[in-house]
Chain A
Amino acid sequence: MADRPSATAEPLVEVADLARWFEVSPPFLDRLIERGSRRWLKAVDGVDFAIRRGETFSLVGESGCGKSTIARLVVGLDAPTRGSVRFEGTEIAGRSRDALKRIRRRVQMIFQDPYASLNPRWRVRDIIAEPIRAHRLARGTAAIAERVAELLRQVKLTPADGDKYPHEFSGGQRQRISIARALASAPDFLVCNEPTSALDVSVQAQILNLMKDLQRDLGLTYLFISHNLAVVYHISDRVGVMYLGRLVELTSGEDLFRTPLHPYTRLLIETIPDMAMSGRRREPVGGEVPSPLDPPAGCAFHPRCPFAAARCRREAPALRRHGAGLVACHAVEEGRLPPLAGSRNDDRSAIPIGGARA
């Protein structure tokens, strides 16, 4: 990664104590009659991380862990209940549209579903030209057309594709159009929410390669949201693992997959289907992610955790430095967690993941 125009110490994006709660209380009158209290779904509850310029920072976790909510908070599509989001030191959480206009040009988002995120009644060239016009980045029809053609070439489409409508393209090509539109305002920071999850693997490879090329050529910074660990391993410099609205581990991509610390991270890595066909029997972990409406007390992972102790049921662990990364786990902190016996490619049955045997 030495060729990247990157890696200054100053972060581009800083998120501190970020929380987003959704009210799910019964209506006021019902509450009054039944003496119920207000109820909150804590989709994100106290998350801190910083994204360095030029890097790919990924958030990974299962559905309902809050990763998409964070994506929306970071681009300003939603306002946090508490905490801050800073872009180059400027607070963006809770600011007005006008105040954010300059930052908006520099922060763009790519969505999961390329079918739903493009206006079907617009020609592709108009879809891509819209941010250029909105931010007045080029004046005059000819200049705009030239810029649109350049963007289409950048995502490996042809300028002639601009005359077509979104429905004339395949899923992968549509995602290229979404990327071209995101790049139209010449952003520094792209939030990519499951950008390849709706695509076939061979198309996914094309899009991931394209994203890597664009990052190298344009010096982009990515926040990459995904549930797919193999994709996250492939694209990320650093990774945060989320469980029920909190970060449980945050470290470099290599370390996360070589020496996962948090029992939940180990579970996630252990449950990936084994493409190497080592003949290893996968031991599925029992249980499911609890409802975020009624999360367990203490560490939210304790009901599924083979290393849970009394303290885990009582006290939520904070994210603390451990080695090169950060981890929120009492067992790690107290040295109770058995070390990994080998790397992922060695005898993986040694990875101490307990739970139900199938």
Chain B
Amino acid sequence: MASERSPLLQVENLRIAFATRRGEVTAVDGVSFAMAPGEVLGVVGESGAGKSLTGAAIIGLLEPPGHIAGGRIVLGGRRIDNLPAPEMRRLRGKEIGAIFQDPLTSLNPLYTVGRQLVETIQVHLGLGAAAARQRALDLLKEVGIPAADRRIDHYPHQFSGGMRQRVVIALALCANPRLIIADEPTTALDVSIQAQIIALLKRLCRDHGMAVMLVTHDMGVIAETADRVAVMYAGRLVEIGPVRDIVRQPRHPYTAGLMGSIPTIGGRRDRLQQIDGAMPRPGAVPPGCAFHPRCRERFARCLDERPNLLPAGGGAAACWLHAPAEAAAVPHG
């Protein structure tokens, strides 16, 4: 995971809040992580855990009243969370690309895909019309659009869902960004198409040396694609580590419960492991560890003291079970 290399992205103590009539509600709280160049970091969690908000904050697309209320985001040594809007707009697309769940909303239905690609290429790379069109064509071929020279002049509605997502990926690649935020890129697609898109993302990541922050609720996609995984719960980062550790030997009780609740083919067919209760809503997060009301391993300290990320296995988990003193006192396998 190349921790020796200087990180491409650093997120430090990020806090995202929403101004509401009842005061400020914190949706993401104290999230810190780093990404190495070329790394695929999977970000998982249930809806409302704050994973998409974290991605949106990095790319500067938080929708008001949501805003960054604390912390820093540093890309390639440059702080980007406080950039003025025009500068952020130049950076977006050029240094950070984005792929969203629904390819239809990321494409303008009134323009051909070629025109959208050419415009993006011209804005970011300053190429002439002919050179930009050639690059657009190359990109469409690279993402696997058949008969690209003909398809370049088609409108988004003339493409299938899987092909449309390929166009969106081509659009994100236009300026060769160093980081791509992919928010549920395969969720809207059928399984056989999903496999194609995952294979494509992995190949592009390898060929271009891009880092990808892959936000998804699908652990299967993460298991296949990510180098490391960050697990979010109630706006907090509860565990981060190499993908093998997270999938096979999760250290946080929430991650363990999450992994156990996934039905797998070939596994036992009786009851699935289940975590009772539900994730608290923002603004109703309990004191101490946010997971403690649902946790079977909680003890006194979890109720009133919030755990920070503590070294656990090959990664880190925000759980008092991994505090040196507790680890000695509480047997935990």
Evaluate contact between B265 and A272: CB separation under 8 angstroms. yes
Q: Smallest distance from the beta carbon of B325 to chain A beta carbons, Å?
A: 30
Among the stretches B96-104, B171-179, B242-250, the one at the interface with A is B242-250
Within 8 A of B (CB), among A274-310: 274-277, 282, 284-286, 288-289
Chain B residues contacting A277 (CB-CB under 8 Å) are 223, 243-244, 247-248
A12 at the interface (CB under 8 A from B): no
Contact flags B196-234 to A (C-beta < 8 A → 1, else 0): 101110010000000000000111110110000000000
Q: Smallest distance from the beta carbon of B98 to chain A beta carbons, Å?
A: 23
Range, interface on chain B: 35 or more
Chain B residues contacting A203 (CB-CB under 8 Å) are 46, 278
Chain A residues contacting B195 (CB-CB under 8 Å) are 271, 273, 282, 284-285
Among the stretches B82-90, B130-138, B256-264, B311-319, the one at the interface with A is B256-264
Give CA–CA (A170, B117) in the complex, Å.
40
Give CA–CA (A345, B265) in the complex, Å.
9
Evaluate contact between B264 and A284: CB separation under 8 angstroms. no
Chain A residues contacting B278 (CB-CB under 8 Å) are 170, 172-173, 203
Evaluate contact between B257 and A202: CB separation under 8 angstroms. yes
Chain A residues contacting B243 (CB-CB under 8 Å) are 277
Q: Smallest distance from the beta carbon of B245 to chain A beta carbons, Å?
A: 11
Partner of B273, one of A170, A173, A205: A205
Give CA–CA (A268, B269) in the complex, Å.
19
Evaluate contact between A212 and B271: CB separation under 8 angstroms. yes
Evaluate contact between B265 and A344: CB separation under 8 angstroms. yes
Chain B residues contacting A272 (CB-CB under 8 Å) are 191, 220, 265
A37 at the interface (CB under 8 A from B): no
A81 at the interface (CB under 8 A from B): no
Evaluate contact between A234 and B266: CB separation under 8 angstroms. no
A62 at the interface (CB under 8 A from B): yes
Partner of B261, one of A205, A212, A288: A205
**A358's closest neighbor in chain B, by CB?**
B199
Chain B residues contacting A201 (CB-CB under 8 Å) are 46, 217, 219, 258, 261-262
Evaluate contact between A230 and B264: CB separation under 8 angstroms. yes
Among A208, A275, A343: residue with most chain B CB under 10 A: A275
A5 at the interface (CB under 8 A from B): no
Q: Smallest distance from the beta carbon of B264 to chain A beta carbons, Å?
A: 5
Evaluate contact between A288 and B203: CB separation under 8 angstroms. no
**A170's closest neighbor in chain B, by CB?**
B278
Q: Smallest distance from the beta carbon of A256 to chain B beta carbons, Å?
A: 10
Evaluate contact between A273 and B266: CB separation under 8 angstroms. no
Evaluate contact between B274 and A202: CB separation under 8 angstroms. yes
Give CA–CA (A101, B296) in the complex, Å.
48
Q: Smallest distance from the beta carbon of A74 to chain B beta carbons, Å?
A: 23
A200 at the interface (CB under 8 A from B): yes
Range, interface on chain A: 35 or more
A158 at the interface (CB under 8 A from B): no
Give CA–CA (A343, B265) in the complex, Å.
11
A340 at the interface (CB under 8 A from B): no
Chain A residues contacting B263 (CB-CB under 8 Å) are 204-205, 208, 230-231, 233-234
Evaluate contact between B265 and A230: CB separation under 8 angstroms. yes
A227 at the interface (CB under 8 A from B): yes
Chain B residues contacting A202 (CB-CB under 8 Å) are 46, 257-258, 261, 274-275
Give CA–CA (A199, B243) in the complex, Å.
23
Evaluate contact between A274 and B223: CB separation under 8 angstroms. yes
Q: Smallest distance from the beta carbon of B189 to chain A beta carbons, Å?
A: 9
Contact flags A239-277 to B (C-beta < 8 A → 1, else 0): 000000000000001000100000000011101111111
Chain B residues contacting A119 (CB-CB under 8 Å) are none
Partner of A273, one of B47, B193, B218, B269: B218
A145 at the interface (CB under 8 A from B): no
Partner of B193, one of A233, A269, A288, A358: A288
Q: Smallest distance from the beta carbon of B234 to chain A beta carbons, Å?
A: 13
Q: Smallest distance from the beta carbon of A223 to chain B beta carbons, Å?
A: 18
Chain B residues contacting A267 (CB-CB under 8 Å) are 192
Evaluate contact between A209 and B224: CB separation under 8 angstroms. no
B3 at the interface (CB under 8 A from A): no
Q: Smallest distance from the beta carbon of B48 to chain A beta carbons, Å?
A: 9
Evaluate contact between B221 and A273: CB separation under 8 angstroms. yes
**A-B pairs, 7 with minimum CB distance:** A273-B220, A205-B261, A358-B199, A62-B190, A234-B263, A200-B46, A205-B272
Give me the interface of A with B, judged by CB distance under 8 Å: 62-63, 170-173, 200-206, 208-209, 212, 227, 229-231, 233-234, 253, 257, 267-269, 271-277, 282, 284-286, 288-289, 343-345, 358
Kindly list 11 other residue pairs between chains A and B, CB separation below 8 angstroms, not including A271-B195, A289-B192: A173-B278, A201-B261, A205-B260, A205-B274, A212-B271, A227-B190, A233-B263, A274-B223, A277-B223, A286-B196, A288-B162
19 sample A-B contacts, Cβ–Cβ < 8 Å, listed by A number:
A62-B190, A200-B46, A203-B46, A203-B278, A205-B274, A230-B265, A234-B263, A234-B267, A257-B266, A268-B191, A273-B221, A274-B224, A275-B247, A288-B160, A288-B163, A289-B190, A343-B266, A358-B196, A358-B200
